[in-house]
Amino acid sequence: MQKTSAWPLALAWVVLIVYASLYPFGEWRDQGIVPWAFLTAPLPRYWTGFDLVSNVAGYIPLGFLCSLAVLRSQPRAGALRAFLFGFVPATLLSLLMETLQSYLPMRVPSNVDFALNSGGAGVGALLAVALEPLGALARWSRFRERWFTPHARGALVLLALWPVALLFPAAVPFGLGQVFERLEAWLGRVLEDTPFLDWVPVRYAELQPLVPGAEALCVALGLLAPCLLGYSVMRSPARRAVLAAAVGASGLGVTCLSAALSFGPANAWEWITPAAEAGMAAAALFALLALVLPRRGCAAVLLLALGVGLSVLNQAPTSAYFAQTLQVWEQGRFIHFHGLAQWLGWVWPYATLAYVLVVLSRREREN
């Protein structure tokens, strides 16, 4: 069986769909009706174009990745089998999510959502099956063999998820992983009125905002991390340079999109402060210097960059204005994007940290 990045990507997308569908997870209750009653309920009276697009778009990647995983790992599998594997499990997942929403007071199950989710999964599966006769999958295989090492699957999955993680607005541009303040508050609420509350480490000194130099450092390390991650599974300096340019362009574009969704299109570029400019320039310079580093050297530098960046970033609080911005995502029309991007923004640096530790622990001979 041929290894493919499509399997872990599909699993990651399933986790994100579950989170987006069941958020905020609280106050489960029984309404006294069968949970699948929504299937025969009248069509909803109110819906928006945003709801239609998000429901279809959320399941297209899942259908595509599941079908692609079959085509890549089982070359002899027919088109029908690949399509069904992309369509049927995604449809069953949508049915399960809508059924569970019957028990959540803040979510409303809908037969329209179920139909749109299933349609999106079908479109994604059909797209994967249609690309196979055109040779697109074979060309991707040849491209991956030329550009990346054989064991690059984990790094490719993390690189693919990085732009999605940037969709959730960050207090510092490219500053993923700022979770300590929220984690402390959550632990305080959970352990309130228990003797274990004294066990929670609490920072008694008031957190101070980052000075411009520290902010520039966080921007530089946050933008440099995916570059070094890609370098660690690539050999050619020229191809590394192409990857660095792609990382910079995608990071800039997605951050502008996130700012536009949060503050309005007119403010899409307001996040580019002098500190952010200095950080991006420093990241570009170091990415250029790191082009000739050996792969394991890139992984070691990435480990250091993640450790320093997370340490500095989590010593600063989120501003009140930024917290107000997050409420737009958590309570408004972006709730699905919240589910898809928030946890990625929190977890991505730590997942990358774990991946790099595993890579460096291997006694892999340098090719």
Return the domain boundaries, the chain: 6-147, 155-361
pLDDT band for position 250 (cuts 50, 70, 90): very high
Residue 36 has pLDDT above 70, yes or no: yes
User: pTM higher than 0.85 for the full model?
Assistant: no
- In this predicted structure, which of 42-51, 167-176, 283-292, 300-309 has the lowest mean pLDDT? 42-51
Supply 273's token pair: 């402060």
* For residues 249-277, average pLDDT: 87
Q: Residue 30's pLDDT is what?
A: 79
| Statement: residue 15 has pLDDT above 80 | yes
> Average per-residue pLDDT in the chain?
82
Please report which confidence band the pLDDT of residue 111 belongs to, taking 50, 70 and 90 as the band edges. confident
pLDDT band of residue 31 (cuts 50, 70, 90) is confident
Q: Which of 130, 99, 348, 364 is nearest to 225 (CA)?
A: 348
